[in-house]
Amino acid sequence: MQTMTSETESQSAPAAKSEPTMHLSPLAAKKIRAQIEQRAATQATAGIRVGVKGGGCSGLSYVIEFCDAPRPRDTLIELDGAKVYVDPKSLIYLNGTTLDYVDTFQQKGFKFVNPQQKSECGCGESFSV
C-alpha cells in the first residue's frame, strides 16, 4: 500500500514523473473523521474508500463507501487522521482531484473537484474525462 499525505505546498526543485495522487480539503477531512467516529469504527485503519466506476449517462461515476482496512494495492491519502483509500485504476481518473465537502442551500455532501473532468450529466451523477 502506498501512503501519501495531502499537501498543498509545491516543491521548488523540478519533479520527476510523479505517482498519481489526490488531495483532501480540511473540511472533508473533518467530516470523514466525524463519520468514522459516528460509525464507531474501532480499527485504526478505518476510513473511506473512493473510486470511479463505469456507468451513468456520461460514462463514469464517483463511488464513496466506508472501509475498515485497505486492500493490498490501495493508496492511502491522509490528512489530520482522516484516511481515504483509492485503488490504482480509480487513481488514474482521480489524479489531481480534491475531495471537498460542501454545505450550501442547494448541496450538502462530499464533492469531487477533478481537473480531468471534461463534462458531467445534467443531474451531476456521472462525468467524463
Q: Write down the pTM of the prediction.
A: 0.78
Report the number of distinct structural domains present in the chain.
1
Is residue 2, in this structure, part of any structural domain at all? no
Is residue 10, in this structure, part of any structural domain at all? no
Would the pLDDT of 2 be above 80?
A: no
Is residue 6, in this structure, part of any structural domain at all? no
Is residue 7, in this structure, part of any structural domain at all? no
Provide the grid cell at 30: 473533518
Strand-pairing partners, residue 75, are 2, 86
Task: Identify the domain containing residue 72 by its residue range.
Answer: 20-122
Would the pLDDT of 84 be above 90?
A: yes
- Give 61's pLDDT tier (boundaries 50, 70, 90): confident
Output the average pLDDT for the chain. Answer: 81
pLDDT at 123: 55
What CATH number should be reported for the domain holding residue 50? Answer: 2.60.300.12
Which whole number is the average pLDDT over 20-49?
A: 90
> CB–CB of 51/22 below 8 Å?
no
Which whole number is the average pLDDT over 79-102?
A: 92
Strands 75-79 and 82-86: antiparallel
74: helix, coil or strand? coil
